[in-house]
Chain A
Amino acid sequence: MPPASDLALLVPELWLAALGLVLLGVDLFVGEQNKRTVGWVAVGGLLLALVPTWGLAGAVHRPGTTVFFGSYAVDGFAVFFKFLAIIATTLVILASMDYFRASGDRQGSTQRFEGEFYTLLVFTGLGLVLMAASADLILVALSIEFVSLTSYVLAAYLKGNPKSNEAGLKYFLFGAAASAVMFYGFSLLYGLTGSTSLYVIAEKVATVPAPALTVSLALMLAGFGFKISMVPFHQWTPDVYEGAPTPVAAFLSVGSKAAGFAVLLRVVAVAIAPSGLDYVTLIAGLSAVSMFVGNLLALPQRNIKRMLAYSSISHAGFILIGVAAFGGAFGNTGLLIYLFAYMFFTLGAFFIAALIEARLGSDDIPDYAGLSQRAPGLAFLMALFMLSLTGIPPTAGFFAKFYIFAAAIERSPALLWLVAVGVVNSVISLYYYVNVIRTMYLLPPQDPARIQEPAVLRTALWVTGAATLLLGLYPQPLITFARAAALLLP
């Protein structure tokens, strides 16, 4: 039995699990018309979960600290992703409340299961927290499956909508296959080292023959690559983002991706790196391919959600630069800063897509024409998010890209070509992001009526917008925080 002090370090996780159970109970007592109550309880509970997490951030900084017999890490890296997961979940629930109402009305008779939606989102948030902190292959496997399971259900949530059904089914088939391949990789790694604990594997991995380790790494990358939508495991992304409820697509592109990167980084940096295997070249190659494929396929997209899906693939490529550069004293922070900043402007862009979809019933970029007249606030925010996705100052996106490129340059001169690829891709991406701004500001509206902005969704939007701008103008607190979190190896 682990000592009680171990449990004290698990308070955020225990709190989130209890919150999920409470929500399920609240949902049973709340009438069909007041399901928002469940959402508000969820938001309140999630915000309260930040308190013990903040306590951990002050208490634990020593890298490689684990509890529960080495299976669960409570280092700064894990705490960083706890914050990220909780904030992302809160924002997505806020955005879902209005979206759900509007899309539910259009669905007509189909039972909405709105309370369960918030409950599943909270449980997914718990899964993301667990993923980022797992230091044992069994726990890694279970937490990834946990997040996948809830995500399959959430993607298929609009039962009356064939596209949502398709999204759920495709996500499930891809996810099940990717998980199976990844577990094969885990079992090889376990067989080669005789342990499931990443930190024990790290001690033994140097004696493992390189071909077997390479096969194991390749198999594991299939599973992680699916979660972060990295090429060549990206094919599900556009269809799932298009069909899934828009807040769920936002959550997948931010939450699952960030937690996937956390797992990838922990497994690679802790368990694989000591073997001396040259994983950097492999990651750098995948990064370059992901950037090019994502960006080039994003160019012809008309549907905003598909465009954001391909953009999400190319951003996976950018973040992979950070994985390749991980290990340098300055570079460690690059990836964390990118993921944290990326969360805000991507969520923001998806939330606007959700709002437009709920109001106009359309996901097509041409229908954004004249948005600057129909909803000036929305158009301004969307322009901000698009500039941030491109990486133009003074937004958070510029600062994130700057840091990740700097990390690669500092890490090794061999990564310079990757930085060049990144810069070229930023220029390519400018075309389709600015196209959205052009449509909103320069094209005349088809229907001059103003667009109503629901209050709760507007709150979520302004939070993401303010964060996008603030992190771009004054990034110092995030840098300090990420620096404390980035130390991973003992």
Chain B
Amino acid sequence: MTAYLPIFIHLLLAVLLTAALLGAHALLGGRRPTVAKDEPYESGVWPIGSARERIPIRYYLIAMLFILFDIEAVFLYPWAVAFRDLGVVGLVEMLVFLGVLFVGFVYAWQRRALEWE
């Protein structure tokens, strides 16, 4: 547990620093709002329309597939760390796991789920 002490100190410092900077800004900085300042920043382009647009369902499909393969990758990590102990048996186990997901990948690919159309 004590090994994490530096992380928590770091976390605490981050919170304190942010609070200090924002607090100092609120206390010391002036506020002179103008129309241009209150506009949302759009990388220099004039903002048009509402920001609350619906995004297409394509994003959902991509995000969902991303998460599924993300979780697959997560399982690789404990396997890689314990690989020497697990040996060939562990390799076979992981290959079965990856094989099943590879079928899923081929499926998604063939169903054009990876294409942006």
Distance between Cα atoms of A28 and B107 in the complex (Å): 8
Distance between Cα atoms of A1 and B91 in the complex (Å): 12
Closest residue on chain A to residue B88 by CB atoms: A1
B89 part of interface (Cβ distance < 8 Å) = yes
Residues facing A in B87-102 (CB within 8 A) are 89, 100
B43 part of interface (Cβ distance < 8 Å) = no
Q: How far in angstroms is the closest Cβ of chain A from B84? A: 15
Distance between Cα atoms of A17 and B104 in the complex (Å): 13
Closest residue on chain A to residue B102 by CB atoms: A21
Q: CB distance A24 to B89 under 8 Å?
A: no
B110 part of interface (Cβ distance < 8 Å) = yes
Q: CB distance B100 to A28 under 8 Å?
A: no
Closest residue on chain A to residue B100 by CB atoms: A21
A25 part of interface (Cβ distance < 8 Å) = yes
Closest residue on chain A to residue B107 by CB atoms: A24
Q: CB distance A1 to B110 under 8 Å?
A: no
Q: CB distance B103 to A28 under 8 Å?
A: no
Which A residues touch B103, using CB under 8 A? 21, 24-25
Which A residues touch B110, using CB under 8 A? 28
Distance between Cα atoms of A1 and B89 in the complex (Å): 7
Which B residues touch A25, using CB under 8 A? 103
Interface range on chain B (Cβ under 8 Å from partner)? under 10
Q: How far in angstroms is the closest Cβ of chain B from A118? A: 14
Distance between Cα atoms of A24 and B89 in the complex (Å): 27
Interface range on chain A (Cβ under 8 Å from partner)? under 10
Distance between Cα atoms of A121 and B43 in the complex (Å): 50
Q: How far in angstroms is the closest Cβ of chain B from A150? A: 14
Closest residue on chain B to residue A113 by CB atoms: B111
| 0/1 string, B67-105, CB within 8 A of A gives 1 | 000000000000000000000010000000000100100
Give the interface SS of chain A, mostly helix, strand, loop or mixed.
helix
Distance between Cα atoms of A1 and B94 in the complex (Å): 13
| 0/1 string, A47-79, CB within 8 A of B gives 1 | 000000000000000000000000000000000
Q: How far in angstroms is the closest Cβ of chain A from B109? A: 10
Which B residues touch A17, using CB under 8 A? 100
Distance between Cα atoms of A25 and B103 in the complex (Å): 8
Q: How far in angstroms is the closest Cβ of chain A from B25? A: 42
| 0/1 string, A293-332, CB within 8 A of B gives 1 | 0000000000000000000000000000000000000000
| 0/1 string, A1-37, CB within 8 A of B gives 1 | 1000000000000000100010011001000000000
Distance between Cα atoms of A28 and B110 in the complex (Å): 7
Closest residue on chain A to residue B90 by CB atoms: A1
Which A residues touch B107, using CB under 8 A? 24, 28
Closest residue on chain B to residue A2 by CB atoms: B89
Q: How far in angstroms is the closest Cβ of chain A from B7? A: 26
Distance between Cα atoms of A1 and B88 in the complex (Å): 11
Closest residue on chain B to residue A25 by CB atoms: B103
Closest residue on chain A to residue B103 by CB atoms: A21
Q: How far in angstroms is the closest Cβ of chain A from B14? A: 32
Closest residue on chain A to residue B109 by CB atoms: A28
Q: How far in angstroms is the closest Cβ of chain B from A32? A: 13
Distance between Cα atoms of A28 and B106 in the complex (Å): 10
Which B residues touch A28, using CB under 8 A? 106-107, 110
Q: How far in angstroms is the closest Cβ of chain A from B114? A: 14
Which A residues touch B106, using CB under 8 A? 28
Q: How far in angstroms is the closest Cβ of chain B from A6? A: 13
| 0/1 string, B53-75, CB within 8 A of A gives 1 | 00000000000000000000000
| 0/1 string, A405-437, CB within 8 A of B gives 1 | 000000000000000000000000000000000
Which A residues touch B89, using CB under 8 A? 1
Which B residues touch A1, using CB under 8 A? 89
Q: How far in angstroms is the closest Cβ of chain A from B104? A: 8
Distance between Cα atoms of A153 and B66 in the complex (Å): 19
Distance between Cα atoms of A24 and B107 in the complex (Å): 7
**Listed residue (B89, B100, B106, B107) with the most chain A CB atoms within 10 angstroms of its CB:** B107
Which A residues touch B100, using CB under 8 A? 17, 21
Q: How far in angstroms is the closest Cβ of chain A from B117? A: 14
Closest residue on chain A to residue B99 by CB atoms: A21
Q: How far in angstroms is the closest Cβ of chain B from A233? A: 28
Which B residues touch A21, using CB under 8 A? 100, 103
Distance between Cα atoms of A354 and B107 in the complex (Å): 30
Closest residue on chain B to residue A111 by CB atoms: B111
Distance between Cα atoms of A1 and B92 in the complex (Å): 11
Q: How far in angstroms is the closest Cβ of chain A from B96? A: 10
Closest residue on chain B to residue A28 by CB atoms: B110
Closest residue on chain B to residue A1 by CB atoms: B89
7 shortest A-B CB distances, which residue pairs?
A: A1-B89, A28-B110, A21-B103, A24-B107, A24-B103, A21-B100, A28-B107
**Partner-B contacts on A (CB < 8 A):** 1, 17, 21, 24-25, 28
Given contacts A1-B89, A17-B100, A24-B107, 7 further A-B pairs with CB under 8 A are A21-B100, A21-B103, A24-B103, A25-B103, A28-B106, A28-B107, A28-B110
Can you sample 5 A-B contacts with CB below 8 Å?
Answer: A17-B100, A24-B103, A24-B107, A25-B103, A28-B110
